[in-house]
Structures are given as C-alpha cells and as structure tokens.
Chains A and B, each alone.
Chain A
Amino acid sequence: TAGITQAPTSQILAAGRSMTLRCTQDMRHNAMYWYRQDLGLGLRLIHYSNTAGTTGKGEVPDGYSVSRANTDDFPLTLASAVPSQTSVYFCASSDRGGDGEKLFFGSGTQLSVL
C-alpha cells in the first residue's frame, strides 16, 4: 500500500517563483493536512481539509494556498516563494470515520528557497 505520496522529494527554488507541492493518498481518508517542520519548532500546521471541497487555515497559513478538488489530492501552492519558506513539508491524512486521531504522513518534501 502506497499510503501518502509526496512530490517532489526535494526542490531548490528561486525567491519570487511559484511552486506546487503535490500530495496524493490512496487510503480514501477524508481529512488531509499540510505541516512544515523546522528545527527547534517541531511541526506546524499550514492548512487542512476536513473533507473534499473544504479547506481551513492552520497555525502558519500566510504565503500558502491549498485546494481539495477530490478526496485523494491535496496540493500546496507557494505563490511567490520567500527564503523563510525554506523547510521540510509533510502532507498527512486521517480517517475521521475510523481512528480520526491517527495521522498518516508522507515522506516529506525538502524545499530550499534562495
């Protein structure tokens, strides 16, 4: 079972450029999340989606946007990247109908904004 697939694995991006981080899950989970992981800060929630067609802002949403057109995909877009967005980005999902408290994570995208 693939679980959650993130792409790309890593990326170097020039400041001011846009980029979309892709996330796809094959578990039919209704809820999906985007986190960023920074040294000394742990994981912080950027955006989330409780179900297809809905999204919400997390703790650090500025500079990021998301969409949830269907159950499986939850892309994260940086419209105009800045160096402070250099981080490791993790997509996650959970099954609200089952153990909704358990998060399943992808392997992450390492993003460097120069």
Chain B
Amino acid sequence: GNSVTQMEGPVTLSEEAFLTINCTYTATGYPSLFWYVQYPGEGLQLLLKATKADDKGSNKGFEATYRKETTSFHLEKGSVQVSDSAVYFCALMKRGTYKYIFGTGTRLKVLA
C-alpha cells in the first residue's frame, strides 16, 4: 500500500544552519508529493508540492525535489530562522483520489 516515512525528530538547529528533513514514500503509480507545516497552536498549511518526477517545489526558502528513482522528497533550506520552528509533515496523494497519506511529522526547533 501507499506510505510515507520521514525522519524522526526532534531536529534542533542553530539559526542560519542548513536544514534537511528526509522523506521517502511507497506508492503505486505517480503520486503528488507535499510538505505541510504546522506552527504551534495552528492547523497544517501547505508549504510546497510537486506533481511529477524531477519537479522542484519551493516556498519561503524551502525546497524539495521529486526523486522517482529514490522515491524521495527531502525538504531543504539553506539558512533556517527561529520562525521556522514548527512540525513538518511529508505527504502523498495518489492522483485523482484526493486521499492523503501523511508521514508522522518532524519537529524542528531553531535556536537563536
């Protein structure tokens, strides 16, 4: 079946450090891939998405590339800020089904 695996947290970084949060998936066909972010006390919000192989999603300095050969969609940011502290969820959706599969979330804490 379809599944998403993301790295265990929490991840603690100093401000301006480089961030990578790993995400791999298992799916039949060619799903759409997403990163959602949840700030403290809020619901999730879409950070970025990619819909086909080699697509790169980007937003707010974050990037992720759809890698079909490694079934991965790792989230990266070159220089994190304290305001990036949140929980990040990797997710997939099989095209046309509108049913998401979410990873377990990775908590990021950025220290000033």
A binding-site residues for B, Cβ under 8 Å: 4, 31, 40-45, 48, 50, 58, 90, 92, 94, 96, 100-108
Given the complex, which residues of B lie within 8 Å of A43, measured CB to CB?
A: 44, 89, 100, 102
Q: Are B104 and A103 in contact (CB under 8 A)?
A: no
Q: Collect the chain A residues with CB atoms within 8 Å of residue B45's CB.
A: 104-105
Q: Does B49 contact A (CB under 8 A)?
A: yes
A103: contacting residue among B41, B100, B103, CB under 8 A: B100
Is the Cβ of B103 less than 8 Å from the Cβ of A101?
no
For chain B, which range describes its interface: under 10, 10 to 19, 20 to 34, or 35 or more residues? 20 to 34
In the complex with contacts A40-B104, A41-B104, A101-B49, A90-B43 CB distance below 8 A = yes
B24 is an interface residue with CB less than 8 A from chain A: no
Q: Are B93 and A101 in contact (CB under 8 A)?
A: yes
C-alpha spacing A75/B103, complex, angstroms: 25
- Chain B residues with CB under 8 A of A94: 98
Closest to A90 in B: B43
Flag whether B46 is at the interface (Cβ < 8 A): yes
Complex CA gap A90/B42 in Å reads 10
